[in-house]
Structure 1
Amino acid sequence: MTSVEEAIARVHRVEWARTVAGLARRFGDLDLAEEVTAEAFVAAVERWPRDGVPSNPGGWLTTTATRKAIDRLRRESKRDAKYQAAHMLSDHTPPEPTGPVEDDRLRLVFTCCHPALAMEARVALTLRLVGGLTVAEIARAFLVRETTIAQRITRAKARIKAAHIPYRVPSAGDVRERLAGVLAVVYLVFNEGYLAGAGDDSLRADLTDEAIRLGRLLRSLLPDDGEVAGLLALMLLTRARSAARVSRTGELVTLDEQDRGAWNRELIVEGHALVRERIAAVEAGGTPPGRYQLLAAINAVHTYAPSARETDWSQIVVLYERLAALDPSPIVRLNRAVAIGEVDGPDLALAELDRLAGDLDDYHAFHAARADLLRRLSRSGESRAAYDRAIRLTGNSAERSYLTRRRDQLAD
């Protein structure tokens, strides 16, 4: 890849959401904003190799996309009404009031999470428009087919147009109403960055850092909301382990094998402080912890332990029991079974996993966990078959390397 191609890829990661969000705010049309932003990047691919990368790539893209948007509005049959929106671009027009959400990208998240859309559509649309994820990446996050995600995005956009849903500053009431969808979006963006679903870039710091940035904005917006604090703590404690997550040879390093000295202590301290704050609030009679607070507490137990051997797995099982009561999803039950395996042994854990086979047969982590339990039970043939299935299902190169090595270490 040439230096210009690398620059375009880097700018796309940084400026895509910013450009789409800014244009959506100015023109009030999500489709238009996404389309002209894509056209601006096409223009960059054509012109930057010849003219050089601009000193302000984001400004260049915004200017180019804005001109394309105005040209398109001028050509439309209903130009007169829509063209008035372009007057927002005038230096003489007062800026739009920002209301409770001051960041364009966060404003865009709340717009995509409008209650008129189904929850699945809200999350998929926001991941596409704000996170910049491809349809394939979103499909892996949802554990569904790409065609399903593509349909959700298309229908969401159609619904926005049909219902005349505006891009506008959400009121305080809107913020509360749409928060669950927003938190889900931020967490899925984070997860895709922490262990990418496919490709050679096993860790995508741009996505994890963007998710944390959005989490911090949410925290400043809703400082008393336990789930906002819980999500931020969860992301910080997970991001803190990134440096130890992949070996120098590009292989995944599991939690029990990671060099804990390489963990980011500053992020861990911040994450632990948020968890303690939420525990104190609950003990003082506050709302019982939700999903993100429980996940953050689980990660706090992991990151508090000086070594993997000293991990308080009994406490982790208790926390997963509480989480399963709130969210009895197959993924939660899978993680609970893994924790049970550390407390009660692989036999009980394998029995728990086998009950999930119908729900998670296409999920690589299910087969990886099953392979490890079978290995611990000295059932090498079955373990090898489970590893093979996990290897076929994973799209992440670091994870594939790890699973292959573990499979090849099995006794014949």
Structure 2
Amino acid sequence: MEVQYIDALITIFQSILFIYIVNYCLEEDKIVKIKELILSVILLSVDGFYITYLLGNLSICIFITHALGILIIYFTFRKNVLNPIIAYSLIYSIVIIWVSTFGNILYVMLDVNSLEDHIANIYITLVYLSQILLFILCFLFKSKIKQIYKLLLDESNSVKYIIIISFFPDFLISLYNISYDIEPVLSRNIIVIALIGFIIFNIIDFRKIKRDSDEIYKLNGILTSKNIELKNIKDNYNLNILSLYELCDMNMYQDASNLLKRIINTYQNSGNVYEKDAEGSSLLSLATKHVIRDDIKVIVYDNANFRLTTMKEMDLYRIIINIVNNAVKAMKNKGTIIAESYEDLNNIVINIANDGEKIPDNIINKIFDSGFTTKNNNNKNHGYGLSIVRELIEKNNGRIKVESNEYMTEFTIVLPINVDA
């Protein structure tokens, strides 16, 4: 008789825990009237104790009690009823898994033969103590339970799946009872049939989820590809506009006109350029497009991510344009320019080479000096100018050098990789 009283008391504590956690998780949807809270605790307590008292310790009682508990929550929390059902199913799963786990562990740990008549009292006492410990832990870590609840709310179809999953521990307990042959034949058959139906339903449902998730994954891949494509178009557009501005700023109107024609018709003169970047959207290819013409061939190998440097992309772009424009003058508007970039362990390296005239030995060390000019470079409006080019590169902890012979002139820019990028 005393055990029944303790069972009733534990059931009341469970009901209080259920309602408290549900109400705590709902935040703005909390029940204001204390009478409704008390009524829901009473109904859950009657459900948890009376069904077992009426039908005995049959496994089917677990399912009936669980289902009636969901109905009580449904009618008690009438505002936005789906959310409290999720919260109730979550705390119910925690409690039922805890009770079944500790019950089985304690049953295995206790030696029935050695304890003889005392086994029942010790077992029951420890099970009750484990539930009291669970109540304390749930109250202490209620914020963690609420976090899990919010995660479940973020998932699509979470109501259906959390309710389905919350019945899974009920089946485990039922199978445990069946394995020890403590279930009547009728109850056992009902449980087995229900379990088979439960498994079939989940297989069919999760197959549908798998198909939907695969479709969503495929659509996300297409969307990501389109976003990258749009970003490349945007970057290409911005740099093309910058190219036109630079050419006009340097009074190179014919070159600006040629570039504008190529922007309008992207396939015009495409035979004069080979680009590793098939879309032609790399910084090197964009910075050399304006010089492509019948007598000038441009070869681009762009393998570097310039965002890894501390230099602004616009500044680097104008530096490359300046070097390329100087190369075109040295080539006398005829020949080949090879532009490449790559990353080594700590740096990004840019090489811009042309097959124009050799830079004389007596001036090659002066071309980066401020105010330096030659007879072939009477127009001093060349963007940054080579002296400012070197100054800007060195300001970003980089360096630039030039080598020239009868066959090739090559500018090499080395920029350190920004470790924080």
TM-score normalised by length of structure 1 = 0.24
Q: TM-score, normalised by structure 2?
A: 0.23
Q: Which has the higher helix share?
A: 1
Q: Comparing both structures, which one devotes a greater share of its residues to strand?
A: 2
